[in-house]
Amino acid sequence: MFSHIYRNLSNELSSGNELVMLTFMKSIDGKKGSIVNKIVLDKDSLDDNPLFKDMNEELRQKVLFAFDSGNLQLVDNKEETILIEPYFPRPRLIILGGGHIAKPLSEFGARVGFSVVVVDDRPTFANSGRFPEASEVICESFENCFSRLNIKKSDFIVIVTRGHRHDGVCLRNSLKYNTAYLGMIGSKRRVKAMKEELLNEGYSKEQIEKLNSPIGLDIGAITPEEIAVSIIAQVISFRRARGNTIYKELGVKFNWPEFDDAVIEEMTKETEVPRALITIISSKGSVPRKAGAKMIVWLDGKVMGSIGGGCSEANIITIARNTILNNEYTIEHVDMTGDVAEDEGMVCGGIMDVLIESF
């Protein structure tokens, strides 16, 4: 049930699209009930989507808020409860150049949640042995690699090639796209000269201002590892800084939705063994994982993913089995503060609400 919805979701995410899934639930007592339907909305085609047009104004605004802020919402709408859940593609860090800075940068990028792609024209530098954490390593000329990259607006591009000419090739090609971030290594003098060249070639000032160069935050970095830290810090700042200005003024922080690719992929498959999808729908305090994190529990005891581990997760797994047997959904409140956290030996403390859906 709904596996086709998750297949659509997975396919659209793979294409680099930002989406919102709406789960419509008929409540019995506010905590339990049945799943009625699920729909997926694509941000780029909202204006033409009849499902979006037919919604009442309040619900449409909630959907737009999800796209702008990245935050989950649970909405009571007449006789039903609706979970509005944003899904953004896993951000891709494209590193053009496979030298000394690229190696630690690839490691740091993968650690903080980016899908890393490394490009270099030298086989000794462009190989998975050198970049084991990268999702893809491309050995290709910098002139030709862009035809293979399929650049998306959610991509973050870092240019760290071994020479001025290669930097220029990469920069000119990168400026053709409206990416989330574009940075290039180089001294102030060299960067100034490059920008003047681009202006003389007809590139607009607006295009050139997209470039972050010299690259990275100014932390006095000297070693390749330190430079990589300064670069990934700036990339993270761009990743987290997006969002509607109005919401920021109201104190609403942008949240890049958290979910596990493997869990979503598993939900695209049919199964003979009943299962439950568990989603953190809200969190507060020092919880291990934030809203959007997911896991799957099968009736036979198999588990995929995590919502934080520990005794609280074990308790949710037990409740999930009962939810599967009753073929319903359940919303559970998890308290990891004060005496509760101390009794269970938790280092962190916080509270979260968890949605358990049977499939």
CATH number of the domain at 181, please.
3.40.50.720
CB atoms within 10 A of CB 87: 20
What pLDDT is attached to residue 242?
65
* Cross-strand pairs, 73: 84
In a domain, 274, yes or no: yes
302 falls within a domain = yes
124 and 167 share a domain?
Answer: yes
In a domain, 146, yes or no: yes
pLDDT at position 339 is 46
Run of H or E including 158: strand 155-159
Residues 200 and 327 in one domain: no
Q: What is the pLDDT of residue 246?
A: 53
Same domain for 161 and 48, yes or no, is no
Domain count, the chain: 2
pLDDT at residue 243, rounded to an integer: 53
Percent of the chain's residues with pLDDT above 90: 72
Q: Is 258 in contact with 291 (CB distance < 8 Å)?
A: yes
Tell which of 213, 241, 269 closes a domain: 241
Same domain, 312 and 262: yes
Residue 201 within a domain: yes
Residue 247 belongs to some domain of the structure: no
Is there a single domain that holds both residue 96 and residue 226?
yes
Same domain for 237 and 97: yes
Indicate the residue among 241, 272, 307 that finishes a domain: 241
Q: Which domain holds residue 225?
A: 92-241
**83 and 146 share one domain:** no
**Phi and psi, residue 74, nearest 5°:** -115, 115
Q: Could you say which residues of the chain have pLDDT below 50?
A: 244, 339-340
Are residues 125 and 11 both part of a single domain? no
The predicted structure's pLDDT at residue 15: 85
- Mark whether 81 and 128 lie in a shared domain: no
Q: Is 251 within a domain?
A: no
Q: Are residues 13 and 153 in the same domain?
A: no
Q: Residue 50's pLDDT is what? A: 95
CB 354 within 8 A of CB 332: yes
Same domain, 46 and 83: yes
SS3 179: coil
Same domain, 115 and 236: yes
Q: Are 83 and 209 in contact (CB under 8 A)?
A: no
- Note the pLDDT of residue 173: 96
User: Considering 241, 265, 295, which residue would you say is the last residue of a domain?
Assistant: 241
Rounded to the nearest 10 degrees, the angle between the axes of helix 102-111 and helix 224-241 is: 40
pLDDT given at position 76: 87
Does residue 252 lie within any of the structural domains? Answer: no
Cα(175)–Cα(88) distance, rounded to whole angstroms?
23
Cα distance between residue 273 and residue 258, in whole Å? 26
Report yes or no on 246 lying in a domain.
no
Residue the block writes with tokens 């190696």: 103
Q: What is the pLDDT, as a whole number, of residue 78?
A: 72
